[in-house]
Structure 1
């Protein structure tokens, strides 16, 4: 591992924007750490520290950093698709689109399918043996929650080609149209009470943040301070004067969440974060330019998705060991609980590292050439994957044998159906995106 990372780091061209890679690793790392810190597990179940100590919800204005990851995704997707388009000038547009989907999604879907397969089999065995109650049942329900991120990211990849064309033609106006869509959705939702319209903001809000990455790729984010101030002022005003909660992550039992589905307040939060990280671009680039730091970033990027998928498994595993050994779990937010927190996080990090060592091979890219592909087939595949992983993130693996279901927008979905959709979609992406000679 060490020698290959060193070789990759030393082979990095000077033209690569290493700060983007740093942001990718830092944003995912912050999400993982935030989940470990927020989990308030007792013998009775799993709670949320932010709900127990509401004053801490203000921290989400800095720690809810997923918009940065999606912003970085927009930057990377723009460069990737343009490179593929230049290299395949003689090929049909559909084949280029299919190859783009497959190239961008292979390192995402392969570790995801392994995660789903392992946990699906484990859930089936546990429930066949009569288990599935207590913390085990909670674990079966919670471990799939990070898959919502996979679903959103799939949509971003799928929409990159058409939205990139709109960006190339209209620039900031393309972003403005998506932001206006988010405004309209919240107006219909909160002003007129239109049912189900709020789910459109899964597209408008996150794709608007993604669109900012296109603007950065073209060097058009020239006033990051203005972006940060505008976003922060907008978020403060919406939370202070509107129906929006303080927390930028979901809270148990709340009537309105800024996250699920996303709101205009979350879009403003994304603007503030993007402006803030762009203001730090100079010192950040100098920091990641150090050889040792860059090698660390290269190594972390190679395992980031695997670590993200398994970090909740590790955290709940630590709590499971504590309960199984008869250890006393202090009341969340108590002095004893806070004193124990560094040890729990260290143990979760060690267990995550072990899981990464076991499953990281599935995140490695493949350079094998393949046959020409089909754009419509790949598009159908990514749609099935998107719906499947979003459904699984909602329903989880608890109650697998009882046919437990959960609502995905307006439709009930069960775990077996969600897994089947994801598997079929993955196979279609693999089949539909095969383009001989496509760069990995």
Structure 2
């Protein structure tokens, strides 16, 4: 038996694909994570202050004219759409097999936590070593704080996993009314935010991303597809018009990602402008579904998508680590003044180097990102619910505080509570334990 035909290989998985599988969803997952990775690499710019200390800033802050590019590069809504679809299909499968909330929460959470725990563990060791050696400063400290920041999306995603069974029941009863209600609530939150109550903005983490996640349910049950090109064009046109209006007449910035120095971020926490961006982007996704599906019917194309899906999450976790390896290798140079012709000319070299180091890291760590079959245990729901909530808070906390200044007691706000890195790690560990305790009792 050759490696190409071994069970579990990309070729074997591609050959065993059920006829009814929506291959387009797999492509969307790969493309969305790939665009996010490339966007992070393009936006990262090292700069040196007067004292010679290197820090990393965002090219969008240095060259504001590039900010409209984020209307194409900000594709996280597509990932959350795919998440809604995946959770709908997983819930249906687990329910058919007699499973319940605990089985769903444990299987979906552990799928994300295994590779994330390895990633965080490696950087935690590096942070301790840097602190003990007195090297937790300069570019090292920037790396220790920055590499974990993309985990915010995993934290939000874990929160949606915890809520998915409840939201699925609401979907089955109210359908499209659920995302409409969530988006209407997000508008209310933004009105309050811009009228003297900025503390309520954090609610939009749930409302905006939850609405996009519910649209994934509408994709899973075929509602969006049944709307055809008419609905796709309506979503694209209305969403794009709303984005233009909100970012020109309204109080929202043009960039769909956070930009250093901006008073308002469309991303953290998400705004109605980002919700409108999600609507037009999902409309575009629906418009491209037909030709993309026909393209995916080709055996070589589908095999490549299957292979990429097996690597995508590992690549996402380690792509900023790879970028810092390259930065260290080139001595923290920016390779040209950002936005100039010389800078653009060096971008292929920068992207290629970051991709090469990421590929090497994927080879080392991909083994921790393997899907495992869901074991039905009929465990109690409440330990799993608590565990999922703790994991959500812990991962969000890690992304906020980072590992820089680990021994200095550095804190960051987790929602409204200051936390340290050890506290956030403890939350994740406690959550993982709660997710397993019910299963052990059931067995």
TM-score by length of 2: 0.93
Name 1:137's counterpart in structure 2: 141
Name 1:273's counterpart in structure 2: 281
Contact residue 45 and residue 334 of structure 2 kept, 8 A? no
Contact residue 249 and residue 257 of structure 1 kept, 8 A? yes
Name 2:19's counterpart in structure 1: 14
**288-297 vs 6-15, greater mean Cα deviation:** 288-297
- Residues in 1 aligned to 2:291 and 2:132: alpha-carbon distance in whole angstroms: 55
**How far did 1:370 drift?**
7.0
**How far did 1:205 drift?**
0.2
- Residues in 2 aligned to 1:73 and 1:368: alpha-carbon distance in whole angstroms: 17
Contact residue 370 and residue 434 of structure 1 kept, 8 A? no
1:119 to 120, 123, 126: 123
Q: Does 1:233 align with 2:238?
A: no
Q: Does 1:390 align with 2:400?
A: no
Name 1:170's counterpart in structure 2: 174
**How far did 1:152 drift?**
0.9
- Residues in 2 aligned to 1:55 and 1:328: alpha-carbon distance in whole angstroms: 19
- Residues in 2 aligned to 1:177 and 1:435: alpha-carbon distance in whole angstroms: 39
- Residues in 2 aligned to 1:23 and 1:429: alpha-carbon distance in whole angstroms: 29
**How far did 1:232 drift?**
0.9
SS in 1 for 2:331: helix
SS in 1 for 2:406: coil
- Residues in 1 aligned to 2:46 and 2:272: alpha-carbon distance in whole angstroms: 31
Aligned pair in 2 of structure 1 residues 139, 245: CA closer, same or farther (>3 Å)? same
SS in 2 for 1:177: helix
- Residues in 2 aligned to 1:212 and 1:29: alpha-carbon distance in whole angstroms: 22
Aligned pair in 2 of structure 1 residues 306, 120: CA closer, same or farther (>3 Å)? same
Aligned pair in 2 of structure 1 residues 435, 296: CA closer, same or farther (>3 Å)? farther
1:202 to 185, 190, 205: 205
Name 1:48's counterpart in structure 2: 58
**73-82 vs 315-324, greater mean Cα deviation:** 315-324
Q: Does 1:303 align with 2:311?
A: yes
SS in 1 for 2:100: helix
Q: Does 1:286 align with 2:289?
A: no
- Residues in 1 aligned to 2:441 and 2:233: alpha-carbon distance in whole angstroms: 43
Structure 2 portions without partners, runs of 5+? 49-53
**How far did 1:137 drift?**
1.0
Q: Does 1:359 align with 2:365?
A: yes
Contact residue 70 and residue 255 of structure 2 kept, 8 A? yes
Query: 1:186-225, aligned counterparts within 5 Å?
Result: 186-190=190-194, 192-221=195-224, 222=227, 223-225=231-233
SS in 2 for 1:401: helix
Structure 1 portions without partners, runs of 5+? 89-94
- Residues in 2 aligned to 1:435 and 1:25: alpha-carbon distance in whole angstroms: 37
Contact residue 393 and residue 424 of structure 2 kept, 8 A? yes
Query: 1:64-103, aligned counterparts within 5 Å?
Result: 64-88=74-98, 96-103=100-107
**How far did 1:79 drift?**
1.2
TM-score by length of 1: 0.94
Aligned-residue Cα RMSD (Å) equals 1.7
**How far did 1:151 drift?**
0.4
2:36 to 31, 36, 40: 31
The CA deviation string for residues 197-218 of structure 1, in whole angstroms up to 9 with x for no partner, is 1100000000000000111111
- Residues in 2 aligned to 1:328 and 1:106: alpha-carbon distance in whole angstroms: 38
SS in 2 for 1:261: coil
- Residues in 2 aligned to 1:37 and 1:337: alpha-carbon distance in whole angstroms: 11
Query: 1:152-163, aligned counterparts within 5 Å?
Result: 152-163=156-167
SS in 1 for 2:408: coil
- Residues in 2 aligned to 1:187 and 1:139: alpha-carbon distance in whole angstroms: 36
SS in 2 for 1:333: coil
Q: Does 1:313 align with 2:321?
A: yes
**How far did 1:328 drift?**
7.6
- Residues in 1 aligned to 2:419 and 2:409: alpha-carbon distance in whole angstroms: 9
The CA deviation string for residues 396-430 of structure 1, in whole angstroms up to 9 with x for no partner, is 11101100111122211111111111121122223
Q: Does 1:373 align with 2:373?
A: no
SS in 1 for 2:240: helix
**How far did 1:431 drift?**
3.2
Contact residue 369 and residue 435 of structure 1 kept, 8 A? no
Runs of 4+ in 1 over 4 A off after TM superposition: 368-372, 433-437
Aligned pair in 2 of structure 1 residues 194, 395: CA closer, same or farther (>3 Å)? same
